[in-house]
Amino acid sequence: MRYPMKMKLFFVAVLCLFLFPLVGHAQQTPPQFDFMKMRNSPMMQQSMKIGMKNVVLSFWNGRGGNLMAIGLFADPDIRTAFGVSDEQYQTIQQTQMNLGTELQRNPEFQEIAKEMQAVRNSDDPLMQNADAETAGKFADIQGRIASLTVDIMSDAVDNVMTPELKQKMMEAQLAAMGEMPIISPGMFEVLNLTDAQRQHMEKIKNELEPEFEKHLETFANGVMAMTNKLFDELEKQGFNMGDNAEEISKKAKELGEKAHEIQKKLMADDPEFKRLADDIQSSGKIFSTQFKIKMFDVLTDEQWARLQLLIDNPPVYAKALLKKMKEQSGRAEQAGGGWQPGPHSWQPGDPIPVEYREQRNAPKNFPRPKN
């Protein structure tokens, strides 16, 4: 069983980005804050799950590309293909490291931090004995911290990226649609949507929101189980997240690097970890296909043709991204050309289901939307 690339990229992103709400908690806890010792407490488990769900929501709401760039641009080949300068990359890295400081300066976070202090009990810092009402209030605060920190990081990356780089990122996301953890109407902006099309896509998104929430919960529970296994292994190796907000932020990069090594070990040695990875991949496939097809239906013939071109003949920077994805997902480029699928891999053409492509391209059979 292969470990899908979209899970690899997303899983590492989660491991780094779910630390955002924990940074907030670290701001409010004593100097002896020890994440590795506290992580199994109900409070920390809830914090990690909420933070991770907000990462998924960032993709659903069209902001995931910026967060994905944090991990992607760590690869020098990807930076070269996209034309990311050393200065741009250094700024992105610095922004990630300075997240704790940026949170402290943010007026909204300062207000949320006051609410957190009012809810927390100094005699029960991990909320082990909190009643249902208090736990509910704390969960709401955690969600707001997670949402705010994702927004701060996304905005910071957005400020670094030039209009040309943003265009490339959107085109690459469309070209790599089959490997993305989730798609959103915002990905189609590169096709020059009209206001009417934006409204139509947003309506579809709202209609599918309840179904998305079900998949999000399933996904979150699966990734949490995988995350706990990964941190168990990290703890065995003596990995320490630090005892304050600044150290936690700095550890994100090291965590991502170690995660790749441990993932390989767990996939080889832990059948339950393998099963979780496979279940997570398959659980959202039906929903993702349904959502994509509804988005495709909104496109005009010209936009549809451009989408097919991006997928069938991607630009250089999208090819570089797809090559990396396919290599790490178990599909190697053969000497004679073409991609060799690994076990359980999605087949070429998955970004657009074959049946839909044939129907859409058949003359007179498809009701074409008008601009």
| pLDDT of amino acid 128 | 75
| pLDDT of amino acid 50 | 83
197: pLDDT confidence band, cut at 50, 70 and 90? very high
| pLDDT of amino acid 117 | 84
| pLDDT of amino acid 202 | 94
199: pLDDT confidence band, cut at 50, 70 and 90? very high
| pLDDT of amino acid 338 | 41
| pLDDT of amino acid 153 | 84
Question: Which residues share a beta bridge with 340?
Answer: 332
Mean pLDDT over the full length of the chain: 78
| pLDDT of amino acid 145 | 84
Lowest-pLDDT range of 94-98, 125-129, 265-269: 125-129
| pLDDT of amino acid 333 | 46
| pLDDT of amino acid 207 | 95
129: pLDDT confidence band, cut at 50, 70 and 90? confident
Average pLDDT over residues 175-199: 87
Residue 343 has pLDDT above 50, yes or no: no
165: pLDDT confidence band, cut at 50, 70 and 90? very high
Residue 15 has pLDDT above 60, yes or no: no
Residue 245 has pLDDT above 50, yes or no: yes
| pLDDT of amino acid 326 | 66
Average pLDDT over residues 267-295: 85
CB under 8 Å to 114, separation ≥6 — which residues? none
Pairwise CA distance, residues 36 & 182, whole Å: 30
Strands 339-340 and 332-333, how do they pair? Answer: antiparallel
Tokens 């080949």: give the residue: 77
Top-confidence residue, 51 or 313: 313
| pLDDT of amino acid 253 | 62
Top-confidence residue, 329 or 195: 195
Top-confidence residue, 159 or 6: 159
Top-confidence residue, 228 or 71: 228
275 close to 174: Cβ distance less than 8 angstroms: no
Residue 348 has pLDDT above 50, yes or no: no
Average pLDDT over residues 107-126: 84
Query: How many Cα atoms within 13 Å fall on the side-chain side of residue 354?
Result: 4
With a pLDDT cut of 70, the percent of the chain lying above it is 77
218: pLDDT confidence band, cut at 50, 70 and 90? confident
Query: Which amino acid, residue 101?
Result: T
